[in-house]
Structure 1
Amino acid sequence: MLWDHRRRPHAFAGIRLQEFDAKAGRLVGPQKTIYHGTDLALVEGPHLYKRGEWYYLLTAEGGTGYDHAVTLARSRDIWGPFETHPQKHILTSKDHPLAALQRAGHGDIVDTPDGKTYLVHLTGRPTTQHRRCVLGRETAIQEAYWGDDDWLYVKNGPVPSLRVEVPGTRDDTQYWAEQRYTFDAALHHDFQWLRTPDTDRIFNVAGGKLVLTGRESIGSWFEQALVARRQAHFSLDAETVIDFSPSDERQFAGLTAYYCRYNFFYLTVSGTETGKRELLLMRSEASHPHGNLEMPFDEPVQLPDQGKVKLALTIRGKELQFYYAMEGQELTQIGKVYDASIISDECGGHANHGSFTGAFIGMAASDCNGAEAKARFDCFVYRPVQHYTDRYEV
């Protein structure tokens, strides 16, 4: 994909071709822009195939939002000119807002040993009337076929199908299994963190616990001690057990439902200016230009000065509820029911094209005093739930 900083007429200026010399390990020879895309614009993500006497160029257009599309072109000469498919976009939901799979684009062609052809592609499954993709950008597959005219077509397309027959036997046992993470060895590969390559600065696994070193606030552009895994289900339970003794209100650590620095929920064990422990909920919604930090509890919830605290949340479709308990006690509901759908691509600050990571659930620790207060987590539980609101999964 060629980027034109002049934007004449578009920043996404077309698909450029150059030969790669495998022996020399570098690009050689002339460069040529072989395809400028269609009027949908934002042409990118090229895949080049040779089939029979044709070269096929598969591209993405429209950005990764709701105008996303897979566009196919072909030429008998690798250098072009490339003609666009008679359907223009062989896969897209852009004109079908009620289709289950939206934001469909960035495809790739796969041939199976039994002679079938499939198109794998990116997509999103929006929830609520606001069309919010809490699971971010996902991968889907469509059955396709080559027509008598030597063009590729998506079966029942160009709108992607939610359910497709594929080779093999379906087994989603692991998908629905509870994931109980302990910290007896290295951090599980499901977890991710932000920006800090020297991870010893923000976390370590020691003594059967995940130890987070409090860094900047959860809204910081820079260094955060935040370890989280992707939300992979529309409904779920999550919980952790934390041992944390803050010295004042500038130290806090706990459980977060997180999209970005200005789009999150964060239930924390924090302190008062006299060092007493309390529960604090932080909430920010990115529909405001730089988030809108709120502390929605009417009255602080006091905690004993010592002892581990279990923090939990439930998500049922768009409804998010927090809970807490001291060690050995039953969970107690805290706060109101919040809108879980704001932890989504569409509310993540770049609603048109730029957001596609989906929501994360995890643990965080902040020390705005710079004293590196340590928060110790015994475990993390992620429990998928089948719920009637999840029209895609139940």
Structure 2
Amino acid sequence: MKISNPVIKGFYPDPSICKAGDTYYLVCSSFQFFPGVPLFESKDLINWRQIGHCLTRKSQIQLESVNSSGGVFAPTIRHHDGRFYMTTTNDTTHQNFYVWTDDIYGEWSEPIFVEQDGIDPSLYFEDGKAFFMSNGTDDQGVGGVVQCEIDIETGRKLTPSRSIWQGSGGRYLESPHLYKIKGTYYLMAAEGGTEYGHMVTYARGNDPFGPFEAYPGNPVLTNRNLGGYEVQGVGHGNLIEDDRGNWWIFHLGFRQIHRWLTYHHLGREVFLAPVTFGEDGWFQAGHNGTTLASFETDCIPHGVTQMEKKIDTFENTNWDLDWCYLRHPHHENYRLEENKLTLKGTGVTLDQADSPTFFAIRQKDFNAVISCDVSINHGEAGITVYMDENHHYDLAIRKIGTGYEVIKRLNIGDIKSVEKVVELTGGNRASLVIRATSTNYSFFLRAEEQEIDLGSAQSRYLSSEVAGGFTGVVIGLYAQSEGSSNEAEFSNFCCEYL
């Protein structure tokens, strides 16, 4: 069958996967968005359904006033003795921790902290022992992939942290994971930075603490030399074996907006590539060591079809799964109904590293039509295509004096500019439309079966190459108000991917 990448679209970076019974589970990083660490399940490795989040309570993660791309970094999910573990880093507080659950559909524990530095922590279990690794500095000040044995009940270190591998020579060694396959230990990592030079590398040895011999063909997977190719930034991989003995690597990558325009704004997404082991015990990944936008395989069971959802609405999405807040929300400002959303605006705006009244869904493809009816009684409310507090485009209705107007505002770094204003003559309700392509967002006011064109803006100014950071564009519904109370009502929301 033909598999299309990415298998999970939109801002779902740093994937990690495990298997329990006949089901696969996958988690991704979430940074300043809440709830934290989206959790997915699949029976076939290509069709994924979100079933929850690992961090759903304020007590589990500190997100107050964290800057964009701070907060929750790359997670790892593992299943051992009937229990699931998810370990991650709060990069803002520089703490590595893990949570656990015996019910994958239920709540996760309070965090258990491990006194080891670095990011991208991972767990490995063997013979009643739990090993904790991260990329950082060991107890002797030596950098690299650092590992210790811990008491899994308390997180207490049972051995000193020790640097066990320094990588293959690329910058920003990260994302370490340890596997035991046919009696050999494989240590996989990422190097090159999570940009265009990203790559997956690995080494192998006969003991969990090494020494490790680097794969002679490193990097085992990278698209760093594929100029003019849509899929870039390939790295941060996790291995998994399916029920039929086939091996796969799940990893992040991103889609640039055009063959010759090196910008990406949808975020880092989840990609899949096949893995094959040679007779010498070394494995190879992808197509000649690269990840393709699509590939043919006979390793997926016959009859499986890759499905894709093309329309998101209030009615067919789940408030608790598909939507997210900025940092910890003030729930009293949100009223969530089956086909309507009511937001109470405050003085906190989208331009602050705070918690504005904001509810968002990830943009999952380049070409889309986003529409929503919005009404207000005061202040401002509308739709934002949001990368971070300094980079977002807003299409909104606001009250001016005794009347109302629709505005298009561009926020690019230090430039905050209202580019277009249209006076509303029919009251306090507006039908707002944004049309997206890979290179542009175009903004419209729909009135009396006509559309008033409010102009466009280039997507590149919402890209990681311009904005920096590690997130991707989300489609946000927001309300804000100075002084007076503002209740905004949103209805008929639709995001259709073309």
TM range (shorter): 0.7 to 0.9
Q: Is residue 2:336 matched to residue 1:336?
A: no
Q: Is residue 2:492 matched to residue 1:382?
A: no
Letter in 1 for 2:244: D
2:415 to 273, 289, 292: 292
Distance 1:207 1:82 in 2: 55
Corresponding residue of 1:233:
365
Letter in 2 for 1:152: F
Contact 1:135–1:359 at 8 Å: present in 2 too? yes
Contact 1:210–1:376 at 8 Å: present in 2 too? yes
1:373 to 486, 491, 494: 486
Distance 2:318 2:250 in 1: 33
C-alpha distance after superposition, 1:135-187 (max 9, x if no partner): 211111111111122111114332222223250445455422x222149x983
Distance 1:269 1:197 in 2: 23
Q: Is residue 2:425 matched to residue 1:311?
A: no
Contact 2:136–2:146 at 8 Å: present in 1 too? no
SS of the residue corresponding to residue 30 of structure 1 reads coil
SS of the residue corresponding to residue 419 of structure 2 reads coil
Distance 1:307 1:372 in 2: 15
How big is the alpha-carbon RMSD for the aligned residues of Structure 1 and Structure 2?
Answer: 2.5
SS of the residue corresponding to residue 236 of structure 2 reads strand
* 1:65 Cα offset (Å): 1.0
Distance 1:160 1:180 in 2: 32
CA separation of 1:205/1:111 partners in 2, compared to 1, >3 Å: closer, same or farther?
closer
C-alpha distance after superposition, 1:243-267 (max 9, x if no partner): 1133xxxx21111111111111101
Contact 1:245–1:277 at 8 Å: present in 2 too? no
* 1:75 Cα offset (Å): 1.1
Distance 1:331 1:361 in 2: 24
Distance 1:193 1:122 in 2: 23
Contact 1:132–1:346 at 8 Å: present in 2 too? yes
1:90 to 204, 212, 220: 220
CA separation of 1:383/1:170 partners in 2, compared to 1, >3 Å: closer, same or farther?
farther
* 1:92 Cα offset (Å): 1.0
Kindly, what percent of the aligned residue pairs are identical? 24
Contact 1:263–1:291 at 8 Å: present in 2 too? no
C-alpha distance after superposition, 1:282-332 (max 9, x if no partner): 1012xxxx43111112xx311136242111111133132111134xx2141
1:18 to 107, 125, 148: 148
Letter in 2 for 1:187: W
* 1:271 Cα offset (Å): 2.5
Distance 2:443 2:411 in 1: 15
* 1:343 Cα offset (Å): 2.6
2:341 to 210, 229, 234: 210
Letter in 1 for 2:376: F
SS of the residue corresponding to residue 273 of structure 2 reads strand
Greater C-alpha Rg: 1
Contact 2:404–2:428 at 8 Å: present in 1 too? no
Contact 1:182–1:379 at 8 Å: present in 2 too? no
Using the size of structure 1 for normalisation, the TM-score is 0.84
* 1:64 Cα offset (Å): 1.1
Distance 2:290 2:308 in 1: 29
* 1:22 Cα offset (Å): 4.6
SS of the residue corresponding to residue 347 of structure 1 reads helix
CA separation of 1:230/1:24 partners in 2, compared to 1, >3 Å: closer, same or farther?
closer
Corresponding residue of 1:181:
314
Corresponding residue of 1:388:
none
Distance 2:164 2:494 in 1: 51
1:127 to 257, 264, 269: 257
Distance 1:38 1:341 in 2: 33
Corresponding residue of 1:79:
209
Distance 1:378 1:22 in 2: 47
Using the size of structure 2 for normalisation, the TM-score is 0.67
Distance 2:300 2:344 in 1: 47
Contact 2:151–2:157 at 8 Å: present in 1 too? yes
Corresponding residue of 1:345:
464
Within-5 A mapping of 1:124-273: 124-128=254-258, 129-164=260-295, 165=297, 166-168=299-301, 169=303, 171-176=305-310, 178-182=311-315, 187=319, 189-200=321-332, 202-205=333-336, 209-215=340-346, 216-246=348-378, 251-272=379-400
List alignment gaps of at least 5 residues for structure 2.
1-133
Corresponding residue of 1:39:
169
1:107 to 232, 237, 240: 237
* 1:188 Cα offset (Å): 5.3
Corresponding residue of 1:61:
191
